[in-house]
Structure 1
Amino acid sequence: MNGISLSRRSFLFNATCLAALGAQARIVQAELRLGPSARITTVSDGYLSLPPDVVFGAMPKEEVEQFLTRNQTDATKYEPECNVTLYRDDENTVLFDAGAGPDFMPTSGKLMETFEVIGLSPESVTHVVFTHAHPDHIWGVLDDFDDLLFPNATHLIGRKEWDYWWNPSTVDTIGEDRTAFAAGAKRRLEAIEDQVAFFEDGQEILPGIAARASFGHTPGHMAFELRNGNESVMVVGDALGNPHVAFEHPDWHSGTDQDPQVAAAARYSLLDQVSEEEMRIIGFHLPNGGIGRVEKTGSAYRFIGEAS
């Protein structure tokens, strides 16, 4: 059984090598060091292509149109990057989220192409840590053959997030436009059930990596504080989902958030912390690899990217 699984996985990996040569998707990378031995790289899973109303539809129409124009943002399309955070130290190779995999949308699910470019094999990943269980973050745990893509990894997820998606009533209560999210999440959770570990808010899940609640985008969404001595980075997942509105108007409700009011409170809390502590952040959908800093400007905030 294991021999068959590895053979299939090798076939898929070799196939993505060829795809990577002709792919039009951006292989965005940004990198930073954390202490003497830890290295953090953002690797691309492609990008999403969504109707802008999915994000901006619940916001004040005239104000958001003026805001997007002022920020030179095309209001006719929404194509955010998907940045998977890769953390490596002397002992661990850790992915924060697994990308979308082959079944979500054609512009995403490019992680294996990126792995080939940087010379990393899925078998070398020791841990996969989830911010939440939306499709572009968890569907990538399975390959084209429905085998586990990271067979040697422990998969870590917040207990609250797991319980929400595992609950059989979620598919009936999440709303018609998200039923596929619920069914898809449950199938992936079932696949990793034998290799999963749970954590709570504030828990150190690995040496120097602590969970930080940022509920609202999903009921159990988590950010992660990575720290080495005086140096720190916050992996924010989708709690800060774009580089403009989420920072300048964190109170505006996003259509991608399952509980917009709770998500807005989480944005304020994260923005206050990272700006006050001058902490770098890594955002799954922030531009140019997603790494940057946050500057407070009066009652608002500003994202300052640090693409390398």
Structure 2
Amino acid sequence: MNLHNASLKSKPEELVPSRYAVRIGEIDVLVVSDGVLPLPTTMLAHNADPASRASWLKDMFLPPDAFDWALNAVMVRSGDKTILIDAGLGSDPNLHLPRAGQLIKRLESAGIDLASVTDLVLTHLHMDHVGGLLVDGVKDRLRKDLRIHVAAAELKFWEAPDFTHTNMPQGFPDALRAAARQFVKMYGSQIRPFDAQHEVAPGVIVRRTGGHTPGHSVVRVASGGDALTFAGDAVFAVGFDQPEWHNGFEHDPEEAARVRVRLLRDLAESGELLVATHMPFPSVGHVAIAGDAFRWVPVFWDY
């Protein structure tokens, strides 16, 4: 019997896992996949020599022109708080990205009621991090007293965003502007801006790093001697052995590289876990030092 066909005939919800649970001391963490974004490989390193970029892709067994970027969000339960970190892409039919925007459906399949979310942390306001909030009907399912935590610098930036140092496919800048504007309009009364850092719940601290966007932030979860950092878009798969390569979505690429190196160095020294938006799902792993660069060490999955 062809097992793949047999699986298809039984119509399972999904053929691949889309959530992964981690316990950090007394805090529950759930990494949830929002799907994948097919993007040009030049977006990984638009300042790199094309031959060097092609060599890296070949060494990683990745296609030369475009491949699927993972898109991960995180749920955290600490004390009486249930915190969603980033909200996925949602639905933007003009960008033709049908395999992303799965977060709401996958939270439901995990038994998570949107009404149980007490706090939302946004690493930044790019549409693949806020778009899930803009889907029809989602706001009505969220709590009226939901607290949304965003760096004040991020809100200021999107009043008149600068795209002069980015390198994005056509249509993306307009879509990003529109999504950020719509988010602020819809949720402005629930936004709780912070400056440098803010404790969202016991052991859950969001900290502004800047770089990727001026208000880009990371979230550290710590309890009982364990810790995990959700790095948002501070780190991409190419950023370990080539941390100086610029990602096409970075609004300040040079500062983003400095942020990336500092973060990776700190995580390599501490040995704490790292999760990032665009690392391959579930993106849970450690950072090691490899000569003058860094090395990604995925965890062995815990069943």
Does structure 1 conserve the Cα–Cα contact (< 8 Å) formed by 2:164 and 2:251? no
Q: 1:248 maps to what in 2?
A: 241
TM-superposed deviation, 1:123: 0.9
Letter in 1 for 2:67: Y
Q: 1:198 maps to what in 2?
A: 193
CA distance in 2, matches of 1:154, 1:195: 6
Q: In angstroms, what is the RMSD of aligned CA positions?
A: 2.2
* Aligned with 2:104 (options 112, 123, 139): 112
Letter in 2 for 1:159: A
Whether 1:32 aligns to 2:22 is yes
Letter in 2 for 1:218: T
CA distance in 2, matches of 1:54, 1:127: 32
Does structure 2 conserve the Cα–Cα contact (< 8 Å) formed by 1:87 and 1:95? yes
* Aligned with 1:207 (options 202, 206, 214): 202
CA distance in 1, matches of 2:138, 2:226: 39
1:1-308 correspondence runs (5 A): 26-35=16-25, 37-103=26-92, 105-145=97-137, 147-148=139-140, 150-152=142-144, 153-165=146-158, 167=159, 169-170=160-161, 177-242=172-237, 245-306=238-299, 307-308=301-302
TM-superposed deviation, 1:93: 1.0
Letter in 2 for 1:289: P
Structure 2 counterpart SS, 1:128 = strand
CA distance in 2, matches of 1:94, 1:277: 24
Could you tell me the TM-score, scaled by structure 2's length? 0.86
Letter in 2 for 1:297: A
Letter in 2 for 1:170: P
Does structure 2 conserve the Cα–Cα contact (< 8 Å) formed by 1:25 and 1:107? no
Flag structure 2 segments of 5+ consecutive residues without an equivalent: 1-10
CA distance in 1, matches of 2:109, 2:218: 27
Does structure 1 conserve the Cα–Cα contact (< 8 Å) formed by 2:43 and 2:249? yes
TM-superposed deviation, 1:270: 0.3
Could you tell me the TM-score, scaled by structure 1's length? 0.85
Does structure 2 conserve the Cα–Cα contact (< 8 Å) formed by 1:27 and 1:43? no
Flag structure 1 segments of 5+ consecutive residues without an equivalent: 1-20
Structure 2 counterpart SS, 1:250 = coil
Report how many residues are paired: 283
Percent identity over paired residues:
28
CA distance in 1, matches of 2:140, 2:236: 28
Structure 1, 290-299 or 209-218: larger mean CA deviation? 209-218
Does structure 1 conserve the Cα–Cα contact (< 8 Å) formed by 2:268 and 2:286? yes
TM-superposed deviation, 1:202: 3.4
Q: Deviations over 1:208-253 (max 9, x none)?
A: 12223321211110011111142111110010022xx200010112
Q: 2:6 maps to what in 1?
A: none
Does structure 1 conserve the Cα–Cα contact (< 8 Å) formed by 2:78 and 2:203? no
